[in-house]
Amino acid sequence: MKRTFFLVLSFLLILATSYALLHHSFFRVHDYVHAARIGEMLRGLQEGQLPVRWSAHFGYGYGMPLFEFYAPLPFYIGAAIFWSGIDVILVIKILYVLANIFTLLGAYFLGTRLFGRTGGWVTAAAYTLAPYRAVNLYIRGALSEAWAMMALPWVLLGIVLVIQKQKGGVWVLLAGLVTLLLSHNLTTLMFIPLSILFGAVYWLIYNWKHLKTALPQVYRLAGSYLLALGLSAFYIFPALAENSFTKIEQIFTGYFSYQNHFLYLRQFFIPNWGYGGSNWGPDDGISFFLGYGQLIGLALFGLLWIKRLFQQRRLTPQLVFYASLGGLLVCSVFMTLLRSKPIWDAIPLLLTIQFPWRWLSVGSLMLALLCGAGISLIPRKGTRLLLSVALVLAILVNAQYFKPESYMKDPTGLYYTDPDKIERQMSQILPDYIPATMSDTQQPPTEKFLVPAGTEQHVELIIDRGSQKLFKTTFLTPVLFNPMIASFPGWKVEIDGQEVEWSSDGQQGTIAVEVPGGEHLVSVYFGDTPIRSASDTITLLSIIGLFGAATYVSLNSKRQRS
């Protein structure tokens, strides 16, 4: 009976958040670059890039290191599905549905572990139907952020399982952390410190009578975080070390400066749903409403927490832990408000978050956990079940937000993988990672290479891949040869198998190399820098270590059974 109820509720929640995807068409969102990213990721994989870092067609056809900086996991998954021949718009819908399913499951298992089965139902409903998730999916189109939100409950679940010494806890924590790290670096920046604080509080409360004997749990937690960082190193470290070689700074100023996007407290309580953008002041074009059901759950939690405190006349470990969840909610909500500006001003790293309201990704989870915690404070089973059903029904009202403003007659006008369209149209939508040597606005190149006017030449393009070009050149005299490729660290040029130095063309910011007279083979390919090589090695060693640990655990388990 309980299993059937869970399956029915899960189906209703997934349907409530995904029913808009059943439409044969698709809809416009703020970030409609998903199809182009998936197409470029697949082309990179087909060319043999692993990991994929360079996009040949973004950057107006001169290329840019898109996946060195833009968290790649959803697009690896999307490219794998797209490779099977499924239409790219259906691929995007599948990525949306996967986010909804695993958000639900993560929140349910976490809530059940902390608050019992009934609390798990409420937690799952409150998080899966959080209005901010609807904003990400159906207004902003923030697919990567939605995947990061999907990972958050799994990270906390892994922490809880490790501390409770449950089998598989480390694997759950690792999966959650790696998914988070490779899905959205800004959510990672916000959540990792709070997850460590959550783990510290839960460890202290769970082991407060025997802290010394519980130190192995701390070692497992720390080891899991370090191993997750190692597994993600191929992306994390180059993204941090080499972003100064791009024009990324321009997306932290002007409209995108955090100073323009603080919220006002009343915005959490007023639906005023819209499909516009974020602006200065309380009259944004999109809503930051927390949801009536979630707010009712929060009020219920507050009343029951105070009642339990008066009944027991002391702060029990349970009440302290629940209060710490409230503290994490207050912290994440406070960071969205104008009053937190001094903190933003004092910590330069925070400016990369751009929009303070992004903290609602963390706040939505903490709010959902408090809804589940409130239910667990109800002593009578019948009353607890009745109020849970009522609260879930109130939360289900949020299903009205999980839909687009309208559907497009022809979604292929925005959602395409065609290389020429990406060069001519999509590049101006996503200029974030154009190499610093390039102009912000370019015209796609009409030729694969340039040589000085009047040069007697014969050039044959033998290999033409996004990350590799091979030219056969014949010049009478030495020539400054200019492949139409954006200059960026990692590009290497070889003439007749010997690596040579290249420079950046001052006018266009493309690669330029001196080629001697006569017949030569000129190879231009995208390789590694020292930081990329080191990061890839760390990831490879981490994978080997992971398989080694898994093998050891498996063999040890078999020995114990025999």
Tell me the average pLDDT of the chain: 92
DSSP summary character for residue 373: H
Identify whether 79 is part of a domain: yes
Q: Do 145 and 261 sit in the same domain of this protein?
A: yes
The strand pair at 479-483 and 491-495 is best described as unpaired
Q: How far apart are CA 254 and CA 263, in angstroms?
A: 18
Q: Do 403 and 454 sit in the same domain of this protein?
A: no
Identify whether 505 is part of a domain: yes
Q: Do 392 and 492 sit in the same domain of this protein?
A: no
Average pLDDT over residues 344-367: 95
Give the pLDDT confidence score for residue 40 in this predicted structure: 97
Q: Which residue, 539, 502, 499, 551, is CA-closest to 521?
A: 499
Q: Do 217 and 109 sit in the same domain of this protein?
A: yes
Q: Do 365 and 476 sit in the same domain of this protein?
A: no
pTM: predicted TM-score of the whole model, two decimal places: 0.94
Identify whether 152 is part of a domain: yes
Q: Do 360 and 453 sit in the same domain of this protein?
A: no
DSSP summary character for residue 140: I
Q: Do 464 and 379 sit in the same domain of this protein?
A: no
Q: Which residue, 509, 485, 496, 385, is CA-closest to 436?
A: 509
Q: Do 477 and 351 sit in the same domain of this protein?
A: no
Q: How confident is the model at residue 440 (pLDDT cuts 50, 70, 90)?
A: low
Q: Do 391 and 306 sit in the same domain of this protein?
A: yes
Identify whether 490 is part of a domain: yes
pLDDT for 555 beyond 80: no
Identify whether 30 is part of a domain: no
> Are 551 and 512 within 8 A, CB to CB?
no
Identify whether 13 is part of a domain: no
Q: Do 287 and 163 sit in the same domain of this protein?
A: yes
Q: How far apart are CA 264 and CA 266, in angstroms?
A: 6
Rounded alpha-carbon distances, angstroms, from residue 490 to 182, 477, 501, 511: 22, 28, 12, 12
Q: Do 329 and 459 sit in the same domain of this protein?
A: no
DSSP summary character for residue 443: P
> Are 277 and 30 within 8 A, CB to CB?
yes
Tens digits of per-residue pLDDT, 114-153? 999 999 999 999 999 999 999 999 999 999 999 999 999 9
Q: Do 383 and 457 sit in the same domain of this protein?
A: no
pLDDT for 457 beyond 80: no
Q: How far apart are CA 163 and CA 220, in angstroms?
A: 9
> Are 196 and 228 within 8 A, CB to CB?
no
Which domain covers residue 90, as residue numbers?
A: 71-242+251-407
Average pLDDT over residues 475-494: 91
Give the pLDDT confidence score for residue 250 in this predicted structure: 80
At which of 386, 407, 428 does a domain end?
Answer: 407
Identify whether 32 is part of a domain: no
> Are 469 and 448 within 8 A, CB to CB?
yes
Give the pLDDT confidence score for residue 509 in this predicted structure: 86
> Are 469 and 485 within 8 A, CB to CB?
yes
More confident residue, 467 or 555: 467
Nearby residues of 346 by Cβ (< 8 Å), 6 or more positions away: none
Axis-axis angle for helices 185-206, 215-231 (nearest 10)? 170
Give the pLDDT confidence score for residue 282 in this predicted structure: 83
Per-residue b or e along 335-348, where b marks 16 or more CB atoms closer than 10 Å to that residue's CB: bbbeebeeebeeee
Q: How many domains does the chain have?
A: 2
Give the pLDDT confidence score for residue 430 in this predicted structure: 74
Q: How far apart are CA 8 and CA 13, in angstroms?
A: 9
At which of 373, 407, 441 does a domain end?
Answer: 407
pLDDT above 90: percentage of residues in the chain = 74
CATH number for the domain that contains residue 511: 2.60.40
Q: Which residue, 142, 152, 143, 140, is CA-closest to 180?
A: 152
Identify whether 402 is part of a domain: yes
More confident residue, 14 or 458: 14
At which of 344, 373, 407 does a domain end?
Answer: 407
pLDDT for 277 beyond 70: yes
Q: How far apart are CA 119 and CA 116, in angstroms?
A: 5
pLDDT for 396 beyond 70: yes
